[in-house]
């Protein structure tokens, strides 16, 4: 109070300014509190909304898992009994991308109990999901005539071992040979790769058949290659038929590569 009297004596307006200043500060502080309260409530609402969105997102991810599996299945070669290592590498890559390879990387954990920790429960749940979906995934990428020879199991890692073992079984040779011969006689060049790669695949099929004591005569191999070409190679095929001296596979490959270059 003494301070107020002294201020009045020095300057009659000073006390009023300070009083007004105090009022202004109080108003600002009150507004600030209101603002902070609104901000806090807004923040809590935002957190809640984010949590709900995150939950919906996770549910959406689980719901779309079968769709994702199917989209990956269509881009992987099917196991036919002779291509295990190529099949295995692709399976591991795609399951890794989908984050479903846990069951192939670790053994089945012990079942959880009431005494299990949250960490153990979480790991067991993740392993079960990985095992169920990866097993479904692998079964879809095996040719039908091989599936019956694979040991039935509910464990993804065991299924993988059975597939590897099946690739070495002599009992599968006949059905595999039939599959490879069917591929060889029906394969078509669709332009999705180079003619060199196309012919190389045909030659590889012939080599595989030879290891199963089913050697493909080179003349037949040349015929298979010519028959696999689309209609735009019709003139090339006709010119070949008029030749007196027929080409071997390597000569045909060389001429087709030149033809492909001219078409480009």
Q: Which two tokens stand for residue 181?
A: 């011969």
Q: Which two tokens stand for residue 26?
A: 């109080």
| φ, ψ (nearest 5 deg) of residue 156 | -60, -40
Q: What is the pLDDT of residue 198?
A: 92
Most trustworthy range by pLDDT among 21-35, 54-68, 118-132, 140-154? 118-132
Contacts 24+ apart (CB under 8 A), 75-79: 76/141, 77/141, 78/141, 78/142, 78/143, 79/141, 79/142, 79/143, 79/146, 79/163, 79/167
- For the beta carbon of residue 14, count every other beta carbon within 10 angstroms: 14
Q: Which residue has the higher pLDDT, 15 or 250?
A: 250
Helices (H), 98-194: 102-105, 118-139, 144-147, 156-166, 173-186
User: Are the CB atoms for 183 and 205 separated by under 8 Å?
Assistant: yes
pLDDT in tens, 167-205: 766 545 667 778 888 888 899 998 888 999 999 989 988
């Amino acid at each position: 109070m003494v301070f107020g009297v002294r201020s009045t004596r020095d300057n009659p307006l000073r006390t009023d300014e300070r009083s007004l200043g105090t009022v202004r500060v109080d108003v600002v502080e009150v507004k600030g509190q209101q603002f902070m309260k609104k901000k806090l409530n807004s923040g809590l609402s935002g957190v809640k909304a984010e949590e709900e969105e995150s939950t919906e997102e996770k549910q959406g991810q689980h719901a779309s898992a079968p769709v994702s599996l199917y989209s990956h299945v269509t881009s992987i070669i099917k196991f036919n009994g002779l291509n295990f290592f190529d099949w295995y590498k692709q399976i591991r890559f795609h399951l890794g991308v989908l984050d479903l390879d846990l069951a192939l990387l670790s053994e089945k954990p012990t079942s959880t109990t009431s005494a299990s920790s949250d960490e153990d429960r979480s790991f067991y749940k993740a392993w079960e999901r990985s095992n169920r979906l990866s097993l479904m995934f692998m079964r879809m990428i095996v040719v039908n005539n091989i599936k019956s020879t694979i040991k039935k199991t509910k464990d993804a890692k065991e299924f993988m071992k059975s597939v590897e073992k099946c690739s070495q079984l002599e009992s599968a040779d006949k059905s595999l040979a039939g599959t490879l011969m069917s591929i060889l006689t029906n394969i078509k060049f669709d332009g999705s790769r180079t003619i060199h790669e196309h012919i190389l695949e045909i030659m590889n099929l012939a080599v595989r058949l030879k290891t199963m004591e089913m050697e493909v005569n080179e003349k037949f191999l040349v015929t298979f290659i010519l028959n696999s070409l689309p209609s735009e190679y019709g003139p090339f095929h006709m010119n070949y038929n008029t030749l007196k001296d027929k080409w071997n596979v390597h000569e045909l490959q060389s001429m087709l590569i030149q033809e492909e270059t001219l078409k480009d």
